Every structure is written in C-alpha cells, then in structure tokens.
Amino acid sequence: MKVCSVTRSNAVLAPVSLALAMTLGLGASSASAGGTIKIDDTKWVSVGAGLRTSFNAVEDAAASGKDYSKDFQLDSIRLYINGQIHKNIKLTFNTERQDKGGGDDDIRTLDAIAQFEFNPNFNVWAGRFLPPSDRINLDGPYYLSSWNFPLVQTYPSIFAGRDDGAAVWGDTSFGETQFKYQVGAFQGCADSGSCNTGANDEDNLLYAGRFTLNFWDPEPGYYNSSTYYGGKDILSLGLVLQSQSDAVGTVANQKDFFGWNLDGLMEKKLSNDGVVTLEGAYYDFDLDNASPVNSGGLVEGTSYFLQAGYLFPQHIAIGQFQPYLQVSNLDPDNGGETDKWEAGLNYIIDGHNARVSAVFGNTDPDNANDTNFFQLGIQLQI
C-alpha cells in the first residue's frame, strides 16, 4: 500500500513502527500492519528505508593502470519519514548518504517538504525537493528501469537533484488524456547551490516548469516512474523549461542559464503478459557562452538517451527477468563529447522494492580511451 506518493514505500518494519508508537505514547494496537501509525482520524506517521549496493569493475581503473578495478560500493541508503497533521497538510523528511571519499560518509537531508494538498488539481509544496525537471530526475535512482542514470542531465541542484524552493502542481483530464503541471521557483545557482560561482549577486531565482501529457493511464502525484512492470499502460510526453538570470560566470561578466528537454515513455502490457518499455529524452542547455571555468559545473550543449526493455511474463523462482539496452550521449559545445551504452538484466522480485541488476557497458569520451564496465547491484525498499 502506498502511504505517501513522496517516498512510494509500501511497508515498514514492525519493530520500528512499534518503537515510534511507544514514543508517541500510543498503544501497540495503533501501529498498523500497513506501515502507518494512526494518531487520530487525520494524523498519521509512516517510516521506510531504501538501500542500493553494488559490485563494480571498471577497465584499466585499478592502481596498476592496466587492470580492472574491483570495488564494492554502498550507492545509497535512505530513511523515509512521512506524516499527515491535517487532512490537507503533510510533512516529508528523507535522508541520503553522501560519499565524502576515503571511506568517510555524511548523512544529508534529501527531502524536507511542507505539503499543502487540497485536491488533484492544485497543491503547494515548499522546502527541499526535486524541482520540476525531466522524468529520470523525478524517478530518482530507485524508480528507473536501468541501474544507472543516463549521463545526460545537468540541471542546477543542491544535492541529488534537489533544490530549496516552492512549487504548485496538479493535474486534470481532458477525455482520456491527463494533463499534469508542475511550476516553481528555486535557489538554483545562488547562495549554497553547488553551481554558485558568485555571479548571481542580485540573488535571482531559478524558475522551473514541467508539463506532461498522459494519453493512456494517468500518473497521479508529483513523482513518476520509468516502469510500472505492467501495472499501467503508459504513453507520456513531457516538456521541461528552466531559467535563471545571472546564474553563472562572474560578477563582471554574468551569464544566464536556460535549459529545456523533451522526454517520453511508452510502456505496454502485451497479450502474453509480457511488458515492453521504450523511453527517451532530448536536452538542450544554454549558459550564454560562459567559460567552463566559470560555469559552476554545468554544461552548455545537448544530450540525449534512448532505452528499450522487456519484462518476461514467466516467473523464474521468485522473480521475473527484464533485459534492457540504453544508449546516451553528452555533447558539450566546448568539446569533450561522451558516448555511453549499457546492457542490463534486471531480476524483478517485488517491483521497485526488491530487484537485482547485472550491467555491462562502455563509456567512450572523445578526449580519452573508452572503458568497459561491469556492475552487479541490489536494490531493496521497505
């Protein structure tokens, strides 16, 4: 059961729920099996967690310079906390690990959202969360079809695609077509933003909007997925626009940021219960010809990715196999084009909550030798 569309978790450890219930002064009977601690008719709290861990081997990346590196990696560990304090007001707090290098980690605030949700047509969020952006960013790593993000997205953010700001969003239907809008203002390249170069001395905000048409089944809520494993038939087209004045450059030579992309997803359950998934996106980023030195890590140029996958209907032991193929390209205007492809095999045990992925691929930058890589990843959510 989805308790909240923000974390999209569907269960909670009973001991955690019981501990929270005791902390809140509730009886054990208040901790329901669905993962929600009911406080009264309008108030509840839910807790969940997510884990992604992998083994990675990269060609010529060992210390010898000519052997495969062989590394186990904790890609992500998240704690999800959600609550409702009024029938129209919710609160979200999620955390994420940040690798500081040298085996040193930090736990950072991923999401911290005040949610005023009045009806499907109009809602207001404020705090730290994913701005209106491309589908793969709104998926997050846990709701992609692939194990890795394509190397295509360079929108401004503070951490893990998130930013501080506020947005209004909602959806409406025209016949069988759903229209969803998400529009907001965010920090972008200012103050503590990771792309802040000091050029934005007037503290201009980043303005972001996403507009989505769903021609088959709707995708309600702020977030989305790149696969529903046959639970929905999806034909979706999204347009994203982001803009910030004086975003990068220097105070003496300020440069504006403007980025846009088109993305699409088609997923169809076939008559044999197999599921075919096709996804792609095109991006264009403009930094007003800012020099790479003063671009705050953003990229001026274009990028794209294409991906195809198929979920076999047969259950093998406890899961189903889903092979996929992805190609992506990042082409900066100042040179250094990079092509990447990966072929993956997912073993889907419980949708996005339990899966194992094996990936083989190749990264080919213009200014360096291409390298092969292999990954074996495990993803769990509760």
Structural domain includes residue 14 = no
pLDDT digits over 319-350, tens only?
A: 999 999 999 999 999 999 999 999 999 999 99
Structural domain includes residue 145 = yes
**pLDDT score of 131 more than 80:** yes
How would you class 104 by CB atoms within 10 Å of its CB: exposed for 0-12, middle for 13-18, buried for 19 or more? Answer: exposed
Structural domain includes residue 378 = no
Higher pLDDT, 227 or 191: 227
Structural domain includes residue 364 = no
pLDDT tier at 173, thresholds 50, 70, 90: very high
What does the mean pLDDT of the chain come to?
91
Domain of residue 244 covers 120-305
**Quick one: pLDDT at residue 98?**
84
Structural domain includes residue 12 = no
Q: If DSSP states are collapsed to H, E and C, what string results for 342-370? A: EEEEEEECECECEEEEEEEEEEEECCCCC
pLDDT tier at 8, thresholds 50, 70, 90: low
Structural domain includes residue 313 = no
Main-chain phi, psi angles of 102, to 5 degrees: 65, 25
Residues 337 and 173: beta-carbon distance below 8 Å: no
pLDDT digits over 218-241, tens only?
A: 999 999 999 999 999 999 999 999
pLDDT digits over 152-164, tens only?
A: 999 999 999 999 9
**Quick one: pLDDT at residue 100?**
73
Structural domain includes residue 356 = no
**pLDDT score of 3 more than 60:** no
Structural domain includes residue 226 = yes
How many domains does the chain fold into? 1
Q: What CA–CA distance (Å, rounded) separates 281 from 261?
A: 7
**pLDDT score of 146 more than 60:** yes
Higher pLDDT, 56 or 28: 56
